Structure 1
């Protein structure tokens, strides 16, 4: 990452909006923030949680105490386990089938909130990357960020593979919305699966046997098929994100090759980048 940043300089810091920013310190973009390569606008609507985030956030991370979604009044279901809190209520039918999350049922506190679209937040400029983990509200966040995302090169959204909440959008709706804004699915990061409830559960290794996909982060990137439609700066930012946030070294190299083909970067940068990769990522016996 440090080599890429130097090779691509001068390059303005990445602009990242994070809806559902708790935690910030252990976030996927933490390395970029620590190296001063990214500015982050993180949204946390709960006053206590927002204050805690501000206390630990570095100076290039701005915590905004605001709820993002489809504009207007809404009811927020605040569960004691904050990671389960959502604009939607947990589905009794889904949980009955899965055999997990039962302890959260009927534990929510209903809180009236006012939602704003990301496009309506004047403090946030045009962004390069949107990260959103909103427990079912990802679709409304993305649909309300059309202007902020015009020049963005990536969206990282939690995608639900099996419904947990009543009324939450399905994965094909999220996929359609992102494709409609010019993004394509690139990869999944850390998909989570659970073991279905069964009579022999006490005899099984739950992590090894669990097969039912629940959710995971879906990485969407700007469609690169029309290379002329992507600027040098967009390619440079995507290369950094690919390396530091997605772990997609082949995508980083694709961007470096394209920049070299345009004369915007020396051709040797791609080879030097591979020189610095861990040995486990290189072909056996490969030479520079």
Structure 2
């Protein structure tokens, strides 16, 4: 005798619904696009809209990759993906056959992700409620902070006109993201910045090494910009925050130590910082990595993470690192 459940299943297609019967007492009903079951292991099925457009590849114990393919294209061969267990964290890295084809690009992409994840973790652990984003360009850093879960205030500084216009657009719908159309440095001044170098605009000229590495340095334009001291803008930036715990991110193409110097004694207010330090100098007069880190350490900051930003293709040498540093005595007590 046919059950009421089965009769309902037979009726649903007449109403324009698609039914995928999964077994006694279980079915999936969808409004459009027929579904199909792909068994992947005992007790495990995948439900896909069109079986001909998907391939399933094992990626380790209890893991499968479902990959969409273009109509008529053969599915990817089994074994094209590998699941790499990341210690005992419970996380797995899924790699396909293309990941090892460009080791440099893969490492830099992984480093960028790990740096963002680490910064987000430090902001939470140190209860940061205001990030000073110095050298904001078009707002890439602020948007990344939001994607990784930071919800506190962001104050971004970008002196060049074109980049600032894009920064304003990036922040316009975020009520706790302030933008400032000037740069930061050791002294209040009007200065000339090299532009036309995309995200590498700098107050410093390129070094011989930089000119050899980047063709964009061969031609340049300049723009007059305003420079202010960090300690003079902190009160306004932190206004309304109870118990401010600021974090300083600097990415100013060789000018980070000048920004740092402009904080004066108020650098002690920051619980952490992030600076792009140079193993190989792209800009004339910029500090080397050891010099920059030594200055930060003398002010009480200690390294919590180092992540390569750029690397030479031929030699493998790192050109610049993102250096994350925290003030240990500012870490909130556990418990």
Tell me the TM-score range normalised by the shorter chain.
0.5 to 0.7
TM-score scaled by length of structure 2:
0.55
1:12-31 equivalent positions in 2, closer than 5 A: 14-25=129-140, 27=142, 28-31=144-147
Residue range with higher mean Cα deviation, 163-172 or 48-57: 48-57
Residue range with higher mean Cα deviation, 52-61 or 134-143: 52-61
| Greater RCO (CA < 8 Å, at least 6 residues apart) | 1
CA distance in 2, matches of 1:100, 1:219: 26
TM-aligned CA deviation for residue 25 of structure 1: 4.8
CA distance in 1, matches of 2:205, 2:334: 47
2:188 is equivalent to residue 74 of structure 1: no
The structure with more radius of gyration: 2
Residue range with higher mean Cα deviation, 178-187 or 60-69: 178-187
Question: Kindly tell me: are residues 25 and 158 of structure 1, through their superposed partners in 2, closer, same or farther at Cα, counting changes over 3 Å?
Answer: closer
CA distance in 1, matches of 2:278, 2:305: 14
Q: Paired residue for 2:305, among 187, 191, 194?
A: 187
CA distance in 2, matches of 1:113, 1:166: 20
1 or 2, which has the higher strand percentage?
2
TM-aligned CA deviation for residue 139 of structure 1: 0.4
Corresponding residue for residue 215 of structure 1: 320
Deviation track 1:107-150 (CA, whole Å, cap 9, x = no partner) reads: 11122333111111142236521000000000011111234432
TM-aligned CA deviation for residue 17 of structure 1: 0.2
CA distance in 1, matches of 2:210, 2:131: 34
Q: Helix, strand or coil: the match of 2:331?
A: helix
Give ranges in structure 1 of 5+ residues lacking alignment: 197-209, 225-229, 237-257, 261-288
Question: Kindly tell me: are residues 124 and 211 of structure 1, through their superposed partners in 2, closer, same or farther at Cα, counting changes over 3 Å?
Answer: same
Corresponding residue for residue 237 of structure 2: 124
Contact 1:190 1:216 in 2 (8 A): yes
Corresponding residue for residue 204 of structure 2: 88
TM-score scaled by length of structure 1:
0.63
1 or 2, which has the higher helix percentage?
1
2:267 is equivalent to residue 149 of structure 1: yes
Contact 1:129 1:155 in 2 (8 A): yes
Question: Kindly tell me: are residues 140 and 13 of structure 1, through their superposed partners in 2, closer, same or farther at Cα, counting changes over 3 Å?
Answer: closer
Q: Helix, strand or coil: the match of 1:186?
A: strand
TM-aligned CA deviation for residue 42 of structure 1: 0.3
1:56-71 equivalent positions in 2, closer than 5 A: 56-57=170-171, 58-71=174-187
Corresponding residue for residue 294 of structure 2: 176
Q: How many residues of Structure 1 are paired with residues of Structure 2 in the alignment?
A: 205
Question: Kindly tell me: are residues 168 and 195 of structure 1, through their superposed partners in 2, closer, same or farther at Cα, counting changes over 3 Å?
Answer: same
Give ranges in structure 2 of 5+ residues lacking alignment: 1-116, 239-243
Question: Kindly tell me: are residues 25 and 138 of structure 1, through their superposed partners in 2, closer, same or farther at Cα, counting changes over 3 Å?
Answer: closer
2:253 is equivalent to residue 135 of structure 1: yes
Contact 2:160 2:225 in 1 (8 A): no
Question: Kindly tell me: are residues 74 and 220 of structure 1, through their superposed partners in 2, closer, same or farther at Cα, counting changes over 3 Å?
Answer: same
2:169 is equivalent to residue 55 of structure 1: yes
Contact 1:127 1:148 in 2 (8 A): no
Question: Kindly tell me: are residues 152 and 119 of structure 1, through their superposed partners in 2, closer, same or farther at Cα, counting changes over 3 Å?
Answer: same
- Structure 1 vs Structure 2 CA RMSD: 2.8
Question: Kindly tell me: are residues 147 and 194 of structure 1, through their superposed partners in 2, closer, same or farther at Cα, counting changes over 3 Å?
Answer: same
